Amino acid sequence: MNWIKTFQVLGLLATLGVATGCKNNVDDVPFVGLDGNGELKEINFPGKKFKKYNARAMKYTKKQTLKALSQVEKAETNSWKLDAVEVGLAAKAGIGLGNVLKAEAEPAFILIYKKRK
């Protein structure tokens, strides 16, 4: 019997410290949400930089996920087999973002890895 096991890892998507110096450009990728007080929090991340950081973060996530999965597989038994895993990636605010740091980050990117049969 296969078990679908889901776990979430809040990883580093991008160190948004550079956002402090970001201008609001039309090709920005905005990060939005509400803080604990219901106030809008918004960071505009330049498109090119987002592409670079995002690729780096996802490559890192893949590496860490596959490493963790190889450990999990060792613990599998005949009645407990992992065949899918969900990994959540959240933006992590960096320097100078004030109240944003107080808001709880939620996964904005959810990667679903499955095992080939």
Partner 1 sequence: MKKYITLIALIMSFNALSAGLPSEWYFGEETKSNKEEKLNYDLDKSLHSLHNAQTHALEKAEGEKQGWYLDHMKTILGLTLKGKLGIKSWGGKKGIELIWKKRSANKELVEIEENVETFDISETKSVNDALAGLDPFINSLVESGKVKDAGNLRNQLSDKVQKFYEVAKGAESSAPQAYRPYKIRLDLSVAADGSVNGLFVKVGGDVRIRLEWTRKNFYQKNNELSSIAQKAQTVLNGLASEIGKSIEEEPAAKALTLKEFKVGVGVTVSGNVGVAKASASIVPQVYFKKVSLLEKSMEVQVEEIPFITDDKSNELKLVSSTRVRKGFKKSLKFAEYFQKKFSKKEYKEGSWAVHTIKPSFSFDLSGDVGVVTLAGTAIFELAYVNNNF
Q: How far is the CB of 63 from partner 1 (least distance, A)?
A: 9
- Comparing C-alpha atoms, which of 43, 29, 24 is closest to residue 100? 43
Applying CB under 8 A, the residues found at the interface with partner 1 are 4-7, 24-36, 38, 40-44, 47-48, 50-51, 54-55, 57-59, 61-62, 65-66, 69, 84-86, 90-91, 100, 103-116
Task: Give the pairing of strands 11-15 and 29-34.
Answer: unpaired
Q: How far is the CB of 16 from partner 1 (least distance, A)?
A: 9
Q: Please name the residue that has the structure tokens 């407990």.
A: 80
HSE, CB side, 13 Å, CA atoms: give it for residue 115: 15
Give the nearer residue to partner 1 in terms of CB position, either 30 or 96.
30
Q: How far is the CB of 67 from partner 1 (least distance, A)?
A: 11
CA distance 49 to 17: 12
Q: How far is the CB of 90 from partner 1 (least distance, A)?
A: 7
Give the nearer residue to partner 1 in terms of CB position, either 74 or 116.
116
